[in-house]
Structure formats: C-alpha cells, structure tokens
Structure 1
C-alpha cells in the first residue's frame, strides 16, 4: 500500500511522491469539484495537470461522471485525487464504483493513491464531523462512510493559513469529545504510507 497524502496541493515532500511511483502516468480525479461552476472546475483540473506535469508525470483527467471511468484507474501508476467537497467526491466515487476499484487497487499495491484535502479525508472510516467544513447538501443523499483505507480521519489545513482552518478546529474539538481517531495535518505537511 502506497499513499501520498497532503494537506494542501503537492505538499513539501514531492520527492517522496516520485519515489513511491514506479512510473509516470497519473490519473487526476477532480470530482470533488463537480458542484462548482464549470469554468472553476475546468481551471481546477488544469491546475492539477500543470502541477503534476511539472514533476514529470503524464497526467490525464479521469472524470468519474463518465461511464466506465472507474475501470480506467487501474491503467495508471498514480491516482491523484484533489480537494473540494468531500461529500461530492464520496458520491462520485460511489456512483461510479471507483470506491470499490480504488480499495482493491490500493490494498493490492497496484497504484499509488495521492492527493490532498478532501481527496485524503475520504479515505478514513467516516465523514461524520466534516459537515462543519463541507456542505453535505451539495448532493441529494450524502454518504457518511469513508473508504476505510485509513483507520483514522485525515484532517487537513490544521492551524494553517487556509479559509477552512477555523472549521477544522471545530472538527478536532468534536472528534476529541467523541474519542474519534484522527490526524491533524498542517498545510505543507504530508503523510506517507509505504507498506509495499
């Protein structure tokens, strides 16, 4: 299992991302931005393509709204899942079947799972509490289960210069009160999982 989990954008340890990957192909999953204006979403995708391309990857967007897109993920070395609304992302993963595909690929060490913010939050056991940060009503029937690839909830933007940092403090307080396992990650910090 190989994961490169950043609080914000590429993070400060891109060499580790390059080390984790055995190849250069990268799928960019930007479905956390599906509720955004079309131009905003397009620009968000381009931002990721440019960033990964700058590291030497050959990035291609895989839009989970398209039929058969989830099946394409297995053909990439890295699956990069960007931030946005975690509930919108979870819905896209579920409706496309990409949640099951990614669980299988990641646990089989067939791809590197990488990304930031919502792309990491979705990996934990639950999305409960994250409604303090993202709007669950952005989808008709929000799902509250994460992918379960982490046994804790990844909390990005902790005490960082980010608009969501104050909301993350609220989530931290809620999790501490309820005794829920979580990991606070500041912008720039990266969590690397490498059990390959």
Structure 2
C-alpha cells in the first residue's frame, strides 16, 4: 500500500509523492477527486479543481477529474475499472463527510480498499482526502459541516472511515494563517483528552505510508 497524505495541498515534500511512482513521472495519468467540495458553489468547486490541476501539472503529471457523482450506483467494480487506468489518485480537501458519502454512493470506498490492498495504485491527497482513510470520522464534525450530507443528498451521513490508516488524521494543527487551525487544534486536543492516538500534522507536513512503514515528514 502506498499513501501520500498531506496536511495542506502538496505539502513540502512532493518529491516523496513522485518517489512512490515507479519509473518516470512525465505525463503519468492522475485521477483528481474533488467531491469533498460538492457542497460548495459550482464556481468555487471549479476554481478549486483548477488549482489542483495546475499544481499537479507542475510536477509533470497529467491530471483528469474523476467525479464520483458520475458513478453513483455503479458499484466498486465499475470504479475499480476506471481507477485501473491511473497510476495515482489525488483527493483534495474540503468536507470529509461529503467525500465519504460520495465514496459510499459510488463504491469508491470498496474499490480503493481492494486496489490499495494489492498495491495497484498510489492514493494521495490532503485534509479531507486523508481524513477519510481513518477508522472513524467521529470528532471531525467539530470542524466540517456534517449536515451538508442531508442537505445535498437527503441521506444520513456515513461515520465510518475506510480504515486504511490506523488512527484519525488531523490536518492544519498549529498552522497560523489557515482558517481551520483553531478548530482542528481543538479536535486534536479532544482526541488527546480521550486517550485517542491520532496523526496531528502542521501544514507542510506529510505522512507517507509504504507497505507497513509509516513516516512523518
């Protein structure tokens, strides 16, 4: 399993993302998932996706959007076939509950679990894109609007994460200038008070997972 999980955007160690890809990087296809922004206005969502594409092209990669809403009801098999055409998937930040719901509706949760289990692609992303891999999303409602799921989908939110990392992921901690740093500092403090081990990252830091090894940079 190969994961590159950043607190904010590419972080300060993009070379370690490229090192997870075998061979050269020029023109390598990247599926960019922006469903964490599905509760935002179409204009804000589009601007966010353009920013991600620009950053990834700067690394010599070839980003193409993969909108999980287009695959709702298709199941894990359909998504696995789409993802198999890419060496890397990049999941941007936003609302973790919206991203988790889009994964559940499309079968992306099961597809990612299966593909990463056989090391068939690299999973990378930041903020919500990393948080969704934890065993549970409980606690993150202090920062992200869980009611957006009911408002947009008319469904109850999914609280279980994908369980591909062993503990909660808390981004933007001690990151002056980020608008969510205070709230996520409180999330981290609540986990500590409850004795819940978690990954707390400052902006710029990344957690890299390769096979059974986890390293924070």
TM-score, normalised with respect to structure 2: 0.87
Corresponding residue SS for 2:94: coil
Root-mean-square deviation (Å): 1.2
List structure 1 runs of 4+ shifted beyond 4 angstroms. Answer: none
- Matches for 1:36-185 after TM superposition, within 5 Å: 36-67=40-71, 68=74, 70-71=79-80, 72-140=82-150, 141-161=156-176, 162-185=178-201
Q: Deviations over 1:8-64 (max 9, x none)?
A: 000001111111012511100000000000011011111111110110111100000
Corresponding residue SS for 2:68: coil
Deviation at 1:145, TM superposition (A): 0.5
Structure 2 partner of 1:20: 20
Corresponding residue SS for 1:192: strand
Could you list the runs of 5+ residues in structure 1 that have no partner in the other structure? none
- Distance (whole Å) between structure 1 residues aligned to residue 91 and residue 83 of structure 2: 11
Query: Are residues 1:187 and 2:196 paired?
Result: no
Deviation at 1:70, TM superposition (A): 2.5
- Distance (whole Å) between structure 1 residues aligned to residue 36 and residue 79 of structure 2: 15
- Distance (whole Å) between structure 1 residues aligned to residue 34 and residue 79 of structure 2: 13
Number of corresponding residues: 196
TM-score, normalised with respect to structure 1: 0.97
Corresponding residue SS for 2:60: coil
- Distance (whole Å) between structure 2 residues aligned to residue 126 and residue 12 of structure 1: 27
- Distance (whole Å) between structure 2 residues aligned to residue 135 and residue 81 of structure 1: 18
- Between Structure 1 and Structure 2, whose CA radius of gyration is higher? 2
Deviation at 1:177, TM superposition (A): 2.0
